[in-house]
Amino acid sequence: MAKPVVVIVGRPNVGKSTFFNRCIGEKHSIVDDQPGVTRDRIYRDCDWSGHDFLLVDTGGILSHEYKNGDPLAKEVLEQVKEALAQADVIIFMVDGKEGINGADEEVAGIIRRVKKPVILTVNKIDSVRENNNMMDFYSLGLGDPMPLSALTGSGAVGDLLDKIVSYFPAKNGKKLTRDEELNTIDEEELTPEDLATKPLSIAIIGRPNVGKSSITNMLCGQKRAIVSDIPGTTRDAVDTTFNHKGREITLIDTAGIRRKSRVDYGIEAFSVVRSLRAIDRADVVALVLDASLEISDQDQKLASKIEEAGKACVIVLNKWDLIEDKSSGAMKRIADDVKAQLRSIDYAEVVFTSVLTKVRVQKILEACERTFLETHRRVTTGLVNQIVAESVALVPPPSGKRGKRLKIYYATQVSVAPPTFVLKVSDAKLMVRNYQTYLERKLREAFGFTGSPVRIILRSKEKRD
């Protein structure tokens, strides 16, 4: 199947070549303040979120010069018309600083006759103040104008690319999403109201005898799981479904997971396997700990399993009745200490409970519901790029081998549960772990994602021969 063709058109000096260079990740088209530098059509391969296409830079259209008999202007116009005939999508670029003029109206007239999808793009919008000219461009009759700055990469550059690929023809009779192209599975777009009523499954996991079954029984209001002081009483992953404030909730009570060296082959071994599978089946995992005991290696391994599975998580410190100092200050110190020791899930909310005294057990459900919303949080591409750009400006990527420094061209969120972001970069090998952790932290500071892991996928710019 031939690659879709995306053509950039507009009058001279509106920033077509600057935008073209930013998209392909290299300075190919010459950029100069002198109008008319680009004359021929320039084709280059480009990709965005798994979609490959041909991007075409064209010369600025000067219709009035063509009318005056300028032969070069006539040739440029013919080149543009040929490009428009090949186009699957047209980007009509105008100058947001200068505002609309007669040349823009003439170009709009040429584009309307082509009958192709058109995206009206207002370039050189570097600040909110410069947005004042946006309303004028509605008079061109080509839909909602999209503001951006091709020079700095700010504004809706990523949103524009998202809109471009949305016009691409279906593959094999089915329109593929960005996430399918990236081999990721994404859910249908859900509103917060939809998510608040969507059925929710919660896996309750932890070491033996921390109170998992007691918590299950109390939350569902019935004795669904057998409770005993004997470790290993629960062997199967027991599913209990009940209604909570109009929402269907399934609790998956699991067998206590001990260290591998202490697990006997047979029933207990199969119970551990089922418990680990319960993590994969759940929307949210509640990791239950005994507040009176130290964090163990096994607790840390369970935390790692949750993070590796990409699951949202709530940490439940049960048996809080055994702790003498129950002040808010003590709770904060203990929560911070738990997160420091369970570093793989330090993003999780901590809930203090006591099944024995029936204190705050229902808070587990509330925390799981909040975490479920956070792991399905979506952020617009424009906002993602803004935060990434600000983060890079604040702390540039470190230099790699031979003094090379990583460049980040675009960023976009491609899926939820967990929130996953794709960064188009110069060379993924230049990304060091500490800097990726820094970017994740900045994304969390900006957007939350409390209780949810965050995934960052790097995609290197394709090298040209």
> What band does 271 get if pLDDT is binned at 50, 70 and 90?
very low
**What average pLDDT does this structure show over 188-198?**
74
pLDDT over threshold 90, residue 445: yes
pLDDT over threshold 60, residue 416: yes
pLDDT of res. 71: 58
- For domain 381-460, give its CATH number from 3.40.225.10, 3.60.20.10, 3.90.1150.10, 3.30.300.20: 3.30.300.20
Please name the residues in contact with 366: beta carbons below 8 A apart, sequence gap of 6 or more: none
**Token couple for 382:** 């424009």
- Rg value, the chain, Cα: 28
pLDDT over threshold 80, residue 177: no
Computed over every residue of the chain, the mean pLDDT equals: 79
d(CA 124, CA 95): 6
Q: What type of residue sits at position 453?
A: P
Question: Could you read off the pLDDT of 78-109 as tens digits, one per residue?
Answer: 778 888 888 889 999 988 888 888 888 888 88
Comparing 65 with 55, the larger pLDDT belongs to 55
pLDDT of res. 191: 72
pLDDT of res. 195: 85
pLDDT of res. 287: 94
Question: Could you read off the pLDDT of 2-34 as tens digits, one per residue?
Answer: 688 899 988 888 888 888 888 877 654 434 344
> What band does 186 get if pLDDT is binned at 50, 70 and 90?
very low
Question: Could you read off the pLDDT of 109-134 as tens digits, one per residue?
Answer: 888 888 889 999 898 887 655 566 67
Range 192-375: architecture per CATH: 3-Layer(aba) Sandwich (3.40)
Chain centroid to CA 160: how far? 16
Q: In what order do the strands lie in the sheet with 200-206?
A: 238-244, 247-253, 200-206, 284-290, 312-318, 349-352
DSSP 293: S
pLDDT over threshold 70, residue 68: no
pLDDT over threshold 70, residue 188: no
pLDDT of res. 265: 41
Same fold, 5-176 and 192-375: yes
- Is the four-CA dihedral 180, 182, 187, 192 of positive or negative sign? negative
pLDDT of res. 13: 83
Mapping DSSP to helix (H, G, I), strand (E, B) and coil, where does residue 445 land? Answer: helix
**What average pLDDT does this structure show over 202-218?**
86
Question: Could you read off the pLDDT of 223-248 as tens digits, one per residue?
Answer: 544 344 434 433 344 677 888 888 99
pLDDT over threshold 80, residue 400: no
DSSP 428: G
**What average pLDDT does this structure show over 341-360?**
94
> What band does 252 get if pLDDT is binned at 50, 70 and 90?
confident
Return the minimum-mean-pLDDT range out of 34-48, 141-155, 431-445: 34-48
Which candidate, 120, 213, 116, 205, places its Cα nearest to that of 160?
Answer: 120
pLDDT of res. 181: 39
CB 307 within 8 A of CB 344: yes
pLDDT over threshold 60, residue 208: yes
Delimit the domains of the chain by residue range: 5-176, 192-375, 381-460
Question: Could you read off the pLDDT of 361-387 as tens digits, one per residue?
Answer: 999 999 999 999 999 999 988 899 899
**What average pLDDT does this structure show over 163-187?**
54
The domain defined by 5-176 folds into Rossmann fold (3.40.50)
